[in-house]
Amino acid sequence: MLKKLINLNQRNVLFKKINNLKIKSSGVDNEGDPFVELKNGIKFYGGKNKANTDKLLYNLLNKNSKNVLNFNCVQTALDIVIRYVEGGLKYGGPKKQSRYNVKEGDIVSEMGAYQGFCSLKLAQQVGATGKVIAIEPMPDNFRLLKKNKIANNLDQLEIVNKGVWDISKTLVFNRKIGDGQSSSIEMDYTGGEKIEVSADTLDQIYKEVGVDNLDFIIIQLNGAEINALRGLTSFKPLNMSIAARYDTESVDAAVAIKDLLKQREYKSEIVESDFVFSKLV
């Protein structure tokens, strides 16, 4: 009951934050995809509302917000707040860019990129002279990631439909039904779905997209973060933000990642037990 109340309070806060979005228009397109366009010109395509999206919470929005936000687009608006505006390694957690601020001309990478909300922000920040490599394994998420790239004419955004691992192989991802954010190799879900995905090393992925240096990478892989790092040996990104929320291999994930990166001449800081920020020294 307490967990349910906490979740309800979090959703209450998030709905109120939608009031601060400068929404130009919203709706559902002819492919059935919800979209929200902001006044700054960025257009986001997202997934359908989750089953627990509540019209009572929708009524928390002010009149101006409800005039421009179609109820079918609530989940998309929430993802804009969480991923594009706030940009935390988890909602309410440390910011992805709290130790390094992306600037024009940077080469950066995000994995898993989900539907591209954070990647769109990164692409704006690096500009036409920079490059963003967004890596997402799930086919349905990748379809929307691609749609968001095309809708916003972001030539600087390179998208890759693969999982990330320490060798090239086919991986079986587990996912909660109706929750595109829960994909994981390490975790299992009662009554969930299993999806086979082609995976590769970061060495190979970056080679294929023509990248041999990176200013900044973001790694959020629901337990596979250390595997991704083991597959990155051909060069060293200058800065990293890593979510290590799920312990694997019977060790503390954040500590294991910090130890691995120390061997590679990185100075790392563990924040809130589960997040690693690293800089090449």
CA-based angle 159:245:183, to the nearest 5? 45
Phi, psi of 250 (to 5 degrees): 60, 30
Q: What DSSP state is assigned to residue 86?
A: I
| Domain extent listing, the chain | 2-85, 87-280
pLDDT in tens, the chain (281 residues): 445 544 778 888 888 899 999 999 999 999 999 999 999 999 999 999 987 777 888 988 999 999 999 999 999 999 999 999 999 999 889 999 999 999 999 999 999 999 999 999 999 999 999 999 999 999 999 999 999 999 999 999 999 999 999 999 998 887 777 666 656 666 666 667 888 999 999 999 999 999 999 999 999 998 899 999 999 999 999 999 999 998 877 789 999 999 999 999 999 999 999 999 999 99
Write down the pLDDT at residue 191: 67
Q: How many helices (H) and strands (E) does the chain have?
A: 9, 13
Long-range contacts of 119-128 (CB under 8 A, 24+ apart): 119/145, 119/148, 119/157, 119/159, 120/42, 120/44, 120/84, 120/148, 120/152, 120/154, 120/157, 121/83, 121/84, 121/87, 123/152, 123/154, 123/156, 123/157, 124/42, 126/102, 126/156, 127/156, 128/155, 128/156
CA-based angle 59:64:66, to the nearest 5? 40
Q: What share of the chain is helix, strand, coil (3-state, %, to 5)?
A: 30, 25, 45
Write down the pLDDT at residue 53: 78
Domain 87-280, architecture per CATH: 3-Layer(aba) Sandwich (3.40)
Amino acid letter, residue 3:
K
Neighbouring C-beta atoms of residue 45, cutoff 10 Å: 25
pTM: predicted TM-score of the whole model, two decimal places = 0.93
